[in-house]
Structure 1
Amino acid sequence: MAIPTIGTTSYPRFWFARICSTISFQMAAVAIGWQVYALTHSTFALGMVGLAQFLPMLCLTLIVGHTADRFNRKTIISICQIVEATTMATLALASFLHRLHPAGIFVAVSLLGAARAFESPSTQALVPTLVDESLVPRAIALSASANQTASIVGPALGGLLYALGAPIPYTLCAVLFATASILSSTIRSRRITPPKTPVSAASLFSGIHYIRARKNILGAISLDLFVVLLGGATALLPAYARDILHTGPWGLGLLRLAPAVGALATSLYLGRHPIHTHAGRKMFIAVIVFGMATVVFALSRNVLLSMGVLCVLGCADVVSVVVRSSLVQLETPDDMRGRVSAVNSLFIGTSNQLGEFESGVTASWFGIIPATILGGLGSIVIALVWMRLFPGLRKLESLSPNATKLDTPDVDPIESPQPL
């Protein structure tokens, strides 16, 4: 894959750091998921992995957003990646000594969740400062390509290396997180440091009020929240691989790889051919396709068919991601991007973990297949309802800076935020 050259010379370093960090995270997801299921044989325990990652993000949302707007974002990212590297090194050592208990894994996952809570909004807010505004949709698409490239390599490596022993993927994760930290520390952006205003309830809640006052942003973020919450089939992949498709860790790696392949192809295409028309409509269509692919996956008993529909699922998901992320970043001023991105991460990023918990619980109640089918059908229903609730989002044409800024606020949440 060609190295992206848009924007400043720091963008390639950002891109490689994103690859290293995401490879590590994806490898860890495969290794941790398989190890937890091997130790417990419980879908509920798989759901608890998602909950353990979600709770720190939920508790820290308001703090991390304000931190990303007050301090150097690249420094925040670098520190978080050091914490992640240390956590993975600890898991590697505990696994090597055969002293790793499921409770210890949940603690480690919670630490990863806390680090990701700071890292994710800082990363989102950093992208627009590396390129001109007109290049933001391309930069986000190429950033997604880095994420998906890593999501292809990571699960495959995680599954293959775990077959050689749990300490091996954990050790490589630690090395890659440390590499990402070094790369992140060398990034330079054009951001002007905002005044160090005192921390107050109004400033902490301003990100929430900013989103609430802009219906297009609220609609896009809440749509993805509910869709991911209902359609979190990836949390059940260890159970599908082992009990339904009857494969080993390598099969789990391939299943996790499939959606990343589709997403990578789509993100590379969108990096060269940004969405210029019917952006809102295309996002809703993508969500409906996502739900349909989830249902087909639930009914599949063939590994190749399962991989195919997961690939389609990945294609649909990245269209929604690029439209939503471009809309949020273009419509938010730089001194608010940290707080808005933190709320976005809570609604979107952490909904993946909460969705994993929901999938694990419903699977333990109704069974793996019925729970996945219900999630896919629920995603389709949510998309149809949101098309009626947010007509402006459905009619959104372009992702150009001028087009997204037409979503005028009902109130001015920056000047006069009120506590919820």
Structure 2
Amino acid sequence: MEEIVKLKKATYHLWTFTISKLISIFGAQVYAFAISFYILQLTGSATSFATNLICSILPRTLLAPFAGYAADKYSRKGIIIGAQIASSLAIGGLLIFSINAELSLIAIYITTVILSITSTFSGVTFSSSMTGLVDEARIQKAMSLNQMSISFATIGSPAVGGILYGTVPMPVFLGIYLTASIIAVILESTMNFKLFATRKEVVEGAPKESMLQSIKEGFKYLMKQPTIKVIIFISLIVNFLFGAFQVGYSFILIEKLKLDPVHFGYTEMAFAIGMLLMSIYFSSAKELKYPLLVSKWSIVGTGFLLGAIATPLLMNMSYFGTVVFYIIVLFVFGVSMMITNTPIMVMMQKTIDDDYKGRVFSILETGSMALMPLGMVVFGFLYDVLSAELILITSGVLLVATVLVLARPSVIRKAHPELAKRKVETTPDPQPE
């Protein structure tokens, strides 16, 4: 009877978590979209726009290890609700400021920093809490629903942000975002983060680790997990090389091929739709037996897609053909990203000890957030001095080579020993002469 009650609560968590994430992510992306327009309209300066991006990225990079420590040592529910309340207060403060005076860059930058800090603590803690919120059999469904929320927000937020920014004053806009944030707090407060948790009980009188010692222990734990270590190394390299796509894609389509902004928007929408459809599939599909193997070949496919982006630069294609080509490529790109990420995230959720999840996910967060801007800077420079075709094809080759080396057959066999056993069982015995 108790098990049935827990499963019902887990089902409630699935949908509450999804709605909460959809509201908070959608609100954050609409806010980011509108505030970017506001900064550019207010100053006309790319430097001011870039400063706001730095205010968003830098706190996430620096504070992720501390967020991981907090997620492993303190109440995860308390951290998530506290972070969401802090977000609401920051938005409320900016709302009051906008009513009494015109928004200044300093006020926007401070709010961006606070929102970045709170989203770091909330994001790392939510990632660490997944196995405590839902039963093991539905972790893939939970991860897929989370990604579905992100995809919906990615598709809808530019349109909603554009409509709101063009039709309502900034105080009304901020009031809508504040309302969404408060709803997210209410939903999160009804969730039981310890439902399926397997964290060790704190023993009274036991010597306490310092924060630095605890973070070091997280690194030590990671170094003793060869499969997880490989996954994180692959993730970091993929994040860096993905800069070739992030910088080059817009540059090629807008500057080189002169695509209409509306048609460029269609290609970006195709990317989000690919992710969304694959999220829906994974939310109802059976869990994959060999997630690392599936992700390996999905990354190989992504490497080929990265090189394929250069195709219209290498051969003559009509304008219509170019638009259709990029819509198809970006759709497949979105699908391949989900095939890469979802199985790996499920594997990490099930493999990493509950007491170390926060610190391991924070290491991944720190590395990713550091390498993404680095990749964008490096590739931004390279696109100014080398041909776009050469950069994309080389990046694709490096991506394929990296995953083939790091996820070589011996690593796959360690991650999935049952796969090696299955091969032995299906190998026919030699026939006597």
Same fold (TM over 0.5): yes
Asked whether 1:366 is paired with 2:383, we answer yes
Match of 2:288 among 270, 276, 286: 276
Question: What SS class does the counterpart of residue 69 from structure 2 fall into?
Answer: helix
Q: What's the CA shift string for 1:348-404, capped at 9, x where partnerless?
A: 4x25xx5246425643663499679736742551342232133268626988xx979
Q: By how many angstroms is 1:322 displaced?
A: 1.0
1: distance between equivalents of 2:175 and 2:268? 20
Which stretch shows the higher mean deviation, 236-245 or 26-35? 236-245
Match of 1:222 among 210, 233, 242: 233
Report the equivalent of 1:290. 302
Report the equivalent of 1:319. 339
1: distance between equivalents of 2:26 and 2:410? 33
Q: Tell me, yes or no, if the aligned pair for 1:91 and 1:100 is still in contact at 8 Å.
A: no
Match of 1:14 among 17, 21, 35: 17
Report the equivalent of 2:221. 210
Which stretch shows the higher mean deviation, 224-233 or 125-134? 224-233
Letter aligned with residue 342 of structure 1: S
1: distance between equivalents of 2:34 and 2:379? 23
Q: Tell me, yes or no, if the aligned pair for 2:383 and 2:391 is still in contact at 8 Å.
A: no
Q: Tell me, yes or no, if the aligned pair for 2:56 and 2:116 is still in contact at 8 Å.
A: yes
Q: By how many angstroms is 1:81 displaced?
A: 1.9
Measured at CA, do residues 336 and 174 of structure 1 come closer, stay the same or move farther in structure 2, by a change above 3 Å?
same
Structure 1 residue runs without a partner (length 5+): 407-420
Letter aligned with residue 144 of structure 1: Q
Match of 1:355 among 367, 372, 376: 372
Asked whether 1:309 is paired with 2:329, we answer yes
Q: Tell me, yes or no, if the aligned pair for 1:47 and 1:361 is still in contact at 8 Å.
A: no
Which stretch shows the higher mean deviation, 233-242 or 47-56? 233-242
Match of 1:247 among 228, 242, 261: 261
Measured at CA, do residues 240 and 69 of structure 1 come closer, stay the same or move farther in structure 2, by a change above 3 Å?
same
2: distance between equivalents of 1:240 and 1:155? 21
Letter aligned with residue 284 of structure 1: K
TM-score, normalization by structure 2? 0.75
1: distance between equivalents of 2:123 and 2:393? 26
Measured at CA, do residues 236 and 387 of structure 1 come closer, stay the same or move farther in structure 2, by a change above 3 Å?
closer
Letter aligned with residue 300 of structure 2: I
Measured at CA, do residues 319 and 179 of structure 1 come closer, stay the same or move farther in structure 2, by a change above 3 Å?
same
Letter aligned with residue 391 of structure 1: R
2: distance between equivalents of 1:34 and 1:299? 33
Report the equivalent of 1:395. 412
Q: By how many angstroms is 1:187 displaced?
A: 0.6
Which stretch shows the higher mean deviation, 260-269 or 84-93? 84-93
Q: By how many angstroms is 1:79 displaced?
A: 1.9
Measured at CA, do residues 84 and 229 of structure 1 come closer, stay the same or move farther in structure 2, by a change above 3 Å?
farther
Q: Tell me, yes or no, if the aligned pair for 2:85 and 2:185 is still in contact at 8 Å.
A: yes
Q: Tell me, yes or no, if the aligned pair for 2:86 and 2:118 is still in contact at 8 Å.
A: yes
Report the equivalent of 2:425. none
1: distance between equivalents of 2:237 and 2:186? 36
Report the equivalent of 1:412. none
Asked whether 1:335 is paired with 2:347, we answer no
Measured at CA, do residues 92 and 398 of structure 1 come closer, stay the same or move farther in structure 2, by a change above 3 Å?
farther
1: distance between equivalents of 2:55 and 2:388? 21
Report the equivalent of 1:157. 160
TM-score, normalization by structure 1? 0.78
1: distance between equivalents of 2:169 and 2:390? 32
Asked whether 1:199 is paired with 2:199, we answer no
Larger radius of gyration: 2
Q: Tell me, yes or no, if the aligned pair for 1:275 and 1:398 is still in contact at 8 Å.
A: no
Which stretch shows the higher mean deviation, 108-117 or 170-179? 170-179
Match of 1:174 among 173, 178, 181: 178
Q: Tell me, yes or no, if the aligned pair for 1:155 and 1:256 is still in contact at 8 Å.
A: no
Q: By how many angstroms is 1:25 displaced?
A: 2.5
Letter aligned with residue 199 of structure 1: E
Structure 2 residue runs without a partner (length 5+): 1-6, 313-318, 422-433
Match of 1:265 among 269, 277, 281: 277
2: distance between equivalents of 1:370 and 1:379? 15
2: distance between equivalents of 1:309 and 1:396? 32
- Mapping 1:52-201, distance limit 5 Å: 52-90=55-93, 97-101=101-105, 104-164=107-167, 167=170, 169-189=173-193, 190=195, 191=197, 194-195=201-202, 198-200=208-210, 201=212
Q: Tell me, yes or no, if the aligned pair for 2:56 and 2:113 is still in contact at 8 Å.
A: yes
Q: Tell me, yes or no, if the aligned pair for 2:247 and 2:379 is still in contact at 8 Å.
A: no
2: distance between equivalents of 1:53 and 1:228? 18
Paired positions, count: 394
Q: What's the CA shift string for 1:150-171, capped at 9, x where partnerless?
A: 3322233223333436726544
Q: Tell me, yes or no, if the aligned pair for 2:236 and 2:364 is still in contact at 8 Å.
A: no
Q: By how many angstroms is 1:118 displaced?
A: 0.6
1: distance between equivalents of 2:393 and 2:182? 37
Letter aligned with residue 223 of structure 1: I
Q: Tell me, yes or no, if the aligned pair for 2:307 and 2:393 is still in contact at 8 Å.
A: yes
1: distance between equivalents of 2:40 and 2:118? 24
